[in-house]
Amino acid sequence: MLRNRFCFFLLLCGVLPPLSAIARNVDLATVPSRNTVQLTIYNSEDLTLVRETRAVSFKQGVNPLQFSWANTLIDPTSVELQFRQPKAGLELLDATYPHDKPQTLYWNVQSDANREATIEISYFTSGISWKADYLAIADPDEKALRLESFVRVNNRSGEDYENAQVRLVVGTINLVEKIAELAKLPVGQVKDGLKREDLQEIRQKAARMMMAPAAPSLAGAAADAAAEMEAPKEIIKEGLSEYFIYTIEGRETVPNGWAKRLRSFEATDVPMRVQYRYRPRQYGEELARLYLLRNDTASKLGLTPLPDGALRVFRANGRDGLSYLGVQPLSYVPIGDKIELNLGSDPAVVFELRTQKVYRDNLWFQIRGGNVYRKLGDDGLKLELDSQVAGWDEHTVYQQQIRNYTRKPISVQIRRDYAGDVVFRSKLNPILHDFETVQFETEVPASGKVGLDYVVIARQGYNQKQSRVELQAGETGR
Amino acid sequence: MSRNRWLLYPLSLVLWFGALPPEALARIKLTTLPVRERVEIQLDHPQIALVEEERIVPLVKGVNQLDFSWANTRIDPDTLVLRILAPPPDQPLEANVLSVSYPPGETALVWAVSANASGAARVRISYVLGGLGKTFHYRALAGRDEKTLELTQWLRVNNNANEAYDSAQVWAGVGERFEKPLGLSETKEVRLGHFPSVPVRKTYTCDPVEFGYLDGARDKLKVPMHYVVKNAGGSLGKEPLPEGKARIFQDDGKGGGAFLGEDRGAFTAPDDELKLYLGLARDIAVRRTMDRSERQRIAGNLYRYDVTLKYEIENFKDAPVTLDIAESVRQIRDAIRGGDNSGLDPEWRLGDGTLHNPDPEKSDADKLLFHVDLPPRTPDGSAQKQVHTLRLTLNNEW
């Protein structure tokens, strides 16, 4: 089985002294094995809550238990013991962290009778992580795609987890200290503004919000295993507060050092459309090609938010082959929100802005006084005003040229930012995306081209009264 | 299959994957080695090579493990995709990928695949492979009259991926797909396109901004020559011409080709022009001088400038040519004003010089391009000097 780094001992001492008296070289111990293990892994922090149950026989009186976790990344302040069955008749008297045995603690448990009990030990560990990733394969005609979502669990905790129920938490939580750092410290050296008990309470509270009882689907796991053909494991998604929990159906073994990737969901024939966008603030100075879809039920998605993860995009070439289109990080997508996949520029679409003409009018001068001149021998006077250009309107006539060499008509959306007091005049039916950003759209036929004419009139200097873009319908001028 | 680093092992063991750690399986596995049935290399992405290999994998009913490893190669493991292709109608085998496991410290992974019956499944494994690249290059053979040329497009596939392919169908994003073996550290060169009798225009251009002066003290401009091929018409214009080095030859009339030079051709979309630089024309002399630069105050600090540029042009060739004269209005404005102090775009109007009809397709608010026809030298060997003027009024400058 595992290269176990956890030891759990029920110390069998003839006469049970309190744990403070345990300081001997010859001991006898039994090692109750794990009955169940549940891992709840957070993707926003290096944090996993482990809950394991073990069956332990208690004698009437005080029972010492030793729990140690050498070479693992457990936060010692988070280790907690609870009695699951029976809940009454057992009492945790105290916990001791001995100074001479690192990564070890002792519990004294008072039992009012000889009995077998199921106890639960929970703790935080670092080193187990999960992340989502996605695979999108578009149809050759780019009208629909198949979207697969995966979760990958990575175990670098130093401990093997066999047959564990795995739960993955989507959402952010607050931690006041890093578990990996706490794991290196003896409990007595945990220093912070918060007391150890407070830390423990905060973490347990945060974790319990997610911890609720195990997912109901577990009962069916054995039956599924016996089915004629094993289906990919279902991942049950549940919302809780601001979080989302994915529970992987059945049990998983994740040995230390291994990573495991499971499919979270698959949706086929997800409707999508292609749009080309020029948005320099968002995509840089290129016409970006995007796949647009929605995380909603109409799109055969929308059962769960999509956690952060890399999304790789391919396109089927119609001959069983694929073309690699790119990879992009997908930020958390709530249910109902849109998904925009930026595939970069398309060499088959040429996007050029041509400045056709520049002229200025509506010139205003600022008078700063005057000078009077007289020529020697002449009685006449000449007055010259000292004036400087203080305001003007700058007209710049543009043509946005788009050539489409693909075999399909394309939809193009253009956003341009104009700082200052600007008039945007055209017949393009533009809208204002915001006070300084003009947006307009066009369709370009397959193997066709368009030229979009507009003039930008920038009111400069004294003429600038506002900071806004005004849209005007009309010709581009002279 | 050379010294193969790819290993695909279907483990013919019916196992509940979660019941045993995969590392334990690795020691007792019984393996078959499904060979590559077919390989496709997709080089259509500008930077990335996608390799797809098809294999027939024997599966048993239940859960199978496929062990895929790629030591000493640069497969991007995050891009690995296993797809089970549709089975033939008479062998309906249904199979699903259940999970992927990544063993520590190995360039390998293990797919858990379930099957509803025993049989063979055709699978496609796709991955992005580093070290596999492509370049394009061209050979242009111009006719004696330099009116047409024969353009040949070549693809070079450079295999530094540390893996050999007995046979691979390659697609470079343009041209036809082809099937060739691709050996280890091998470069394969394939003719992708052949475009005979492509119309070509030989241009002579002077442009003080782009090409500068040949002899500044004597105001003599450089006159570079180009072959200009429009990616349109005939067999061209259906696809872009990717960037690549072009070697240029001219038919020497004796069945061979005289080497004229080489240039790097830029990516050329359909309808765009591919310009190949040939060198400087020494038989066309162009002297450019500023004949007039006058400033007139309109009001306050507002001025108008009137500028005349004069070009004295001689063609010492025994054939007529068309000279392209390019100018940047901004550069002219900055020259007469001693630099751009205002930050304004120039507002200009063409005057009544001999150059007053710029090419509308190739001119804009800053750049002007004029075509001037030059006769050949006279029979006595002397060139007829042509004088052209460009008159510009720059308005609203301050």
- DSSP structure string for A258-315: -EEEEEEEEEEEEE-EEEEEE-HHHH-SS-EEEEEEESSGGGT--SS-B-SEEEEEEE
Distances (CA, A) of B313 to B131, B256, B282: 53, 35, 12
pLDDT of res. A347: 87
Q: Residue A262, Cα to own-chain centre: how many angstroms?
A: 18
**Span A198-233, pLDDT tens digits:** 544 444 443 343 333 333 333 333 334 334 567 777
Strand arrangement, sheet containing B81-84: B81-84, B119-128, B50-59, B36-42, B165-171, B178-182
Contact assessment for residue A72 and residue A179, using Cβ atoms and an 8 Å cutoff? no
pLDDT of res. A469: 97
Last residue of a domain, one of B105, B129, B153: B129
Contact assessment for residue A321 and residue B42, using Cβ atoms and an 8 Å cutoff? yes
Containing structural domain, residue B309: 284-397
| Closest to A34 measured CA to CA, from A78, A70, A1, A64 | A1
**Least reliable range by pLDDT among A275-289, B92-106, B164-178, B300-314:** B92-106
Q: Is the pLDDT of residue A29 over 50?
A: yes
| Closest to A354 measured CA to CA, from A474, A477, A452 | A452
Domain annotation covers residue B186: no
Contact A324 B48 (CB under 8 A): yes
Tokens of B1: 């299959």
| Closest to B95 measured CA to CA, from B69, B62, B66 | B62
**Least reliable range by pLDDT among A5-19, A73-87, B219-233:** A5-19
| Closest to A203 measured CA to CA, from A175, A168, A244 | A175
Provide the sign of the torsion angle of the four alpha carbons B169, B170, B173, B175, taken in this order.
Answer: negative
Strand arrangement, sheet containing A288-294: A338-345, A288-294, A273-278, A410-417, A437-444, A431-434
DSSP bridge partners of B258:
B250
* CA count, 13 A, side-chain hemisphere, A360: 24
Percent of chain B whose predicted confidence (pLDDT) is above 70: 92
Nearest CB to A257 within list B104, B299, B345: B104
List chain B residues with CB under 8 Å of A228.
116
List chain A residues with CB under 8 Å of B78.
133, 310, 312, 327
Measured between CB atoms, does B240 come within 8 Å of chain A?
Answer: yes
Predicted TM-score (pTM) of this structure: 0.81
How many angstroms separate the CA atoms of A435 and A471, rounded? 11
Cα dihedral A163, A165, A169, A175 in deg (nearest 10): -70
The residue of chain B nearest to residue A350, with distances taken between CA atoms, is B269
Domain annotation covers residue B343: yes
Contact assessment for residue A351 and residue A277, using Cβ atoms and an 8 Å cutoff? no
Distances (CA, A) of B36 to A107, B57, B216, B346: 60, 10, 65, 65
How many angstroms separate the CA atoms of B146 and B197, rounded? 11
Q: How many separate domains does chain B show?
A: 2
Contact assessment for residue A306 and residue A148, using Cβ atoms and an 8 Å cutoff? no
List chain B residues with CB under 8 Å of A359.
347, 395-396
Contact assessment for residue B398 and residue B302, using Cβ atoms and an 8 Å cutoff? yes
Distances (CA, A) of A322 to A349, B43, B78, B125, B175: 21, 11, 16, 10, 17
Q: Provide the 3-class DSSP secondary structure of residue A407.
A: coil
Measured between CB atoms, does B35 come within 8 Å of chain A?
Answer: no
Contact A387 B16 (CB under 8 A): no
Nearest CB to A229 within list B22, B85, B114: B114
**Least reliable range by pLDDT among A33-42, A164-173, A366-375, A455-464:** A164-173
pLDDT of res. A477: 72
Contact A396 B116 (CB under 8 A): no
Measured between CB atoms, does A85 come within 8 Å of chain B?
Answer: no
Domain annotation covers residue B319: yes
**Residue A309 binned pLDDT confidence (cut-offs 50, 70, 90):** very high
B62 Cα to chain A: minimum distance (Å): 6
Average pLDDT over residues A131-151: 94
Tokens of B268: 């050329």
Q: Is the preceding peptide bond at B89 cis, omega within 30 degrees of 0? A: no
pLDDT of res. A177: 61
Query: What DSSP element (H or E) covers A8?
Result: strand A6-11
List chain B residues with CB under 8 Å of A368.
none
Domain annotation covers residue B362: yes
Last residue of a domain, one of B129, B159, B178: B129
Nearest CB to A321 within list B52, B99, B299: B52
Any residues with CB less than 8 A from the CB of B85 and at least 6 apart, and which? A320, B54, B121, B122, B123, B124
Q: Is the pLDDT of residue B95 over 70?
A: yes
Contact assessment for residue A136 and residue A144, using Cβ atoms and an 8 Å cutoff? no
Contact assessment for residue A120 and residue A55, using Cβ atoms and an 8 Å cutoff? no
To the nearest whole number, what is the mean pLDDT of chain A? 83
How many angstroms separate the CA atoms of A246 and A468, rounded? 47
How many angstroms separate the CA atoms of A234 and A265, rounded? 8
How many angstroms separate the CA atoms of A170 and A156, rounded? 20
Domain annotation covers residue B289: yes
Last residue of a domain, one of B112, B129, B146: B129
Average pLDDT over residues B363-374: 97
Domain annotation covers residue B153: no
The residue of chain A nearest to residue B127, with distances taken between CA atoms, is A324
Q: How many CB pairs under 8 A join A and B?
A: 155
pLDDT of res. A219: 33
Q: Provide the 3-class DSSP secondary structure of residue A220.
A: helix
Measured between CB atoms, does A84 come within 8 Å of chain B?
Answer: no
Q: Is the pLDDT of residue B166 over 60?
A: yes
How many angstroms separate the CA atoms of A460 and B343, rounded? 12
Distances (CA, A) of A327 to A138, A306, A426, B295, B310: 14, 16, 37, 58, 56
Nearest CB to B42 within list A258, A259, A321: A321
Measured between CB atoms, does B170 come within 8 Å of chain A?
Answer: no
Q: Is the pLDDT of residue B47 over 60?
A: yes
**Span A339-367, pLDDT tens digits:** 999 999 998 899 999 999 999 999 999 99
Average pLDDT over residues B99-122: 89
Average pLDDT over residues B372-396: 93
Residues 19-78 of A with CB under 8 A from B: none
Residues 253-312 of A with CB under 8 A from B: 253, 255-263, 310, 312
pLDDT of res. B105: 86
A95-103: Cβ within 8 A, 24+ apart: A96/A19, A96/A20, A97/A186, A97/A187, A97/A188, A99/A186, A99/A188, A101/A68, A102/A70, A102/A186, A103/A68, A103/A69, A103/A70, A103/A71, A103/A72, A103/A74, A103/A76
Domain annotation covers residue B288: yes
pLDDT of res. A194: 41
A278-287: Cβ within 8 A, 24+ apart: A278/A351, A278/A412, A278/A413, A278/A414, A278/A415, A278/A416, A279/A413, A279/A415, A280/A415, A280/A416, A280/A417, A281/A415, A281/A417, A283/A342, A286/A344, A286/A345, A286/A351, A287/A345, A287/A346, A287/A349, A287/A351, A287/A402, A287/A412
Measured between CB atoms, does B97 come within 8 Å of chain A?
Answer: yes
Domain annotation covers residue B64: yes
Query: In one letter, which amino acid is A23?
Result: A
Q: What is the DSSP string of B120-159?
A: EEEEEEEEEBTTEEEEEEEEEEE-TTSSEEEEEEEEEEEE
Q: Are strands B321-328 and B165-171 parallel, antiparallel or unpaired?
A: unpaired
Contact A255 B23 (CB under 8 A): yes
First and final C-alpha spacing in chain A = 84
**Span A53-96, pLDDT tens digits:** 999 999 999 999 988 888 888 888 889 999 998 889 999 999 89
